Amino acid sequence: DTGVSQDPRHKITKRGQNVTFRCDPISEHNRLYWYRQTLGQGPEFLTYFQNEAQLEKSRLLSDRFSAERPKGSFSTLEIQRTEQGDSAMYLCASSFPEPGWGEKLFFGSGTQLSVL
């Protein structure tokens, strides 16, 4: 399977605990995005990498959230001191934009986080 993969698929944690999610993008894609989606809403942009550089972060991303893409391949998203409001589906997407072809994102299946 050469699609975007995310691990774990589901995570249940207690408030105050730290959690880490992993995303493996499509191998030739140089851009990687993290989004958050809550029930009944569209995905909300969190952050974006071009290769290993984190180029943009949403103001939604509090200082409890940190993302890395150390070698420009897989990425991790860590949430420290989780709160109930962090409960959501965390989606990873990757792309390889080509001039004149826009930015078609390929999404992974997501990690569903539940904070109790």
Partner 1 sequence: ELKVEQNPLFLSMQEGKNYTIYCNYSTTSDRLYWYRQDPGKSLESLFVLLSNGAVKQEGRLMASLDTKARLSTLHITAAVHDLSATYFCAADSGGGADGLTFGKGTHLIIQP
List interacting residues with partner 1 (CB under 8 A). 31, 33, 35, 40-45, 48, 50, 55-56, 58, 91, 93, 97, 100-110
Evaluate the CA torsion angle 58, 115, 4, 44 in order and state its sign: negative
**CA–CA separation, 79 vs 95, rounded Å?**
24
Q: Indicate the residue among 79 and 92 with the shorter CB distance to partner 1.
A: 92
In contact, 77 and 21? CB cutoff 8 Å: yes
Which CB sits closer to partner 1, 12 or 55? 55
Paired tokens of 29 = 């894609």
Q: How far is the CB of 39 from partner 1 (least distance, A)?
A: 11
**Nearest to partner 1 of 83, 103 (CB atom):** 103
